[in-house]
Chain A
Amino acid sequence: MGKKRYEIRLSGSGGQGMILGGVILAEAAAIHDGINATQTQSYGPEARVGASKSEVIISDGEILFPKTSDLDVLLCLTQKAAQEYIDDLKEDGILIIDSYYVGNVPSKYKNIYKIPFSQIANKEFNTTLVVNIIALGAICAATGCVSEKALFEAVKARVPKGTQEINEKAARLGIKLVKEQK
């Protein structure tokens, strides 16, 4: 990845696991890949209605300013989140959307992965609870910001006991879905 600062924002609606997703991604980088990461999230009234977000900065150098300003990657699971946050994405940044819920995005963005995360989660796992983990797999494959091995380890360390296997499968599926679109 080189000595580079990588800014990632995960967004969706409350309850979609965006904060846990950010924590897992940051831990994959900082603990399992051994580079640096910070993770922040929105609190307060903003976090309780509408769009919810979690932000991760990954770098193999020191992370000075810990907030995002120019996003390299934006994940949007809802149209509302896309509308709220898309302006912070760099023009050459990577946009990953749940194509079932996000219909419209500005035409200037060219690096887009359109994946119907929630529908796939329902079909493959019979639950939408793993949407965030599938999305992490997608981010990993689309960006290479963390290694696949680190992602699997971080997922297994964070999800509830007894769900490790299904969550690892979800992460693998996310990786596969992006590789098919590359």
Chain B
Amino acid sequence: MSVELPKLGGKFIQMEDEIGSMASIIGASIGGLKSMTATSGPGISLMQENIGYAVITETPCLIVNVQRGGPSTGLPTMPSQGDILQARWGTHGDHPIITIYPHTVPEIFEETIRSVELSEKYRIPVILLLDEVIGHMREKIDIEKVDKNKSFKRKTPDVPNEWFFPYERNSSGVPAFADFGEGYRYHITGLVHDVDGFPTSKPDQIDAFMKRMFRKIDDNLDDILDWEEYELEDSEYMILAAGCVARSAKQAIRTLRDEHGIKIGLLRPKTIWPFISSVLIDKAQDKKKIFVPEMNMGQLLLPTQRFASSICDILPFNKINGEAIYPHELVSFIRRNI
């Protein structure tokens, strides 16, 4: 990025640490620029406080987290899916957030564009969660085929200055964003604020603000949620997996179907937060079992159990030794457990 971004007219800044990186992308975005940062391991923990600031100030930005083994310095350069729940609840306080989880190199490219778009559209930080396995990999992409022109322009105010409310309540739930320094004078704070941007402790104003923050996401799940169904049509069993584990799952499904005649398919959330709960409930209906392989001790397992445990059996497969899950491991686990 430091080499390529300036060539395209972008700006690259090296900050002193991840706290500073997160703060500076928030500042850049408030100034009207599309901004992003990237990290791995403990860096995402350092970013969490300011991610909360981006949520409450409704500042669009993109945070890329290439997961590695933890906690702490953990396993540099080795894969893990330990941050799935942190991507949802890493910053304190009740809040909405969007997390996208691609599984191939070309998909990272496309989903980065989509993540920025969602972030700008709903004025919310988006976390692009990656696996080391894919993050350190070269893979083919046909750049010409990617739609690069769908870039979303954030909604800006068109009212006179004295009519402008930076956190107005409108039907979309997303207030227009005035780039700081462009003429509209307003206040930004990490405290809960009213429509004018100034702190409030009045319960009715707090309630209205908090509920709008959730509503702008909850009312637009059709636009935000995305997932892939692989060989699910006639399947009796289902794997729910994300990121690189979904690739192991697809390879395992090929073997289970072609060599063992087992009707099994994959449900792969591309948007993992908010969770694809209604899709899961729908797909789980005719399944005998759902397998949830993860490179952690059961993080995607929790929402899967929450929404589908009353429908069918759910079996976790967990590996936390710093290695990817190999397809043959899934094949034997699934064959033993059906």
A residues contacting B by CB (< 8 A) are 23, 26, 30-31, 36-41, 43-44, 63-67, 69
Contact = CB atoms under 8 A, between A and B. Distances in A.
B138 interface: yes
Contact of A65 (B77, B78, B327): B327
B140 interface: yes
Contacts, number: 50
B247 A39 contact: no
B185 interface: no
B244 interface: yes
Given A65-B326, A66-B247, A69-B326, A40 B77 contact: no
Contacts of B140: 30-31, 36-37
Interface string B136-159: 111110000000000000000000
The 9 closest A-B pairs by CB, nearest first: A43-B77, A44-B77, A65-B251, A64-B251, A30-B140, A39-B138, A64-B250, A38-B139, A40-B137
Interface of B: 76-78, 133-134, 136-140, 244, 247-248, 250-251, 254, 324, 326-328
Nearest to A35: B140
A40 B136 contact: yes
B326 A67 contact: yes
Nearest to A27: B138
B138 A65 contact: no
Contacts of B328: 69
Among B134, B136, B139, B244, the most chain A Cβ lie within 10 Å of the Cβ of B139
Given A26-B138, A66-B137, 18 more contacts: A31-B140, A38-B137, A38-B139, A40-B133, A41-B136, A44-B77, A64-B247, A64-B250, A64-B251, A65-B248, A65-B250, A65-B326, A66-B133, A66-B134, A66-B247, A67-B324, A67-B326, A69-B327
Contacts of A40: 133, 136-138
A4 to B, nearest CB: 14
A31 B78 CA distance: 28
Contacts of B248: 64-65
Contacts of A63: 139
A14 to B, nearest CB: 15
10 contacts: A31-B140, A37-B139, A39-B139, A41-B136, A64-B254, A65-B250, A65-B326, A65-B327, A66-B134, A67-B324
Contacts of A37: 138-140
A59 to B, nearest CB: 11
A67 B248 CA distance: 9
Among B248, B250, B251, the most chain A Cβ lie within 10 Å of the Cβ of B251
A168 B326 CA distance: 37
A118 B251 CA distance: 38
Contact of B139 (A44, A66, A67, A69): A66
Nearest to A65: B251
Contacts of B250: 64-65
B77 A66 contact: no
Given A44-B76, A44-B77, A44-B78, A67 B254 contact: no
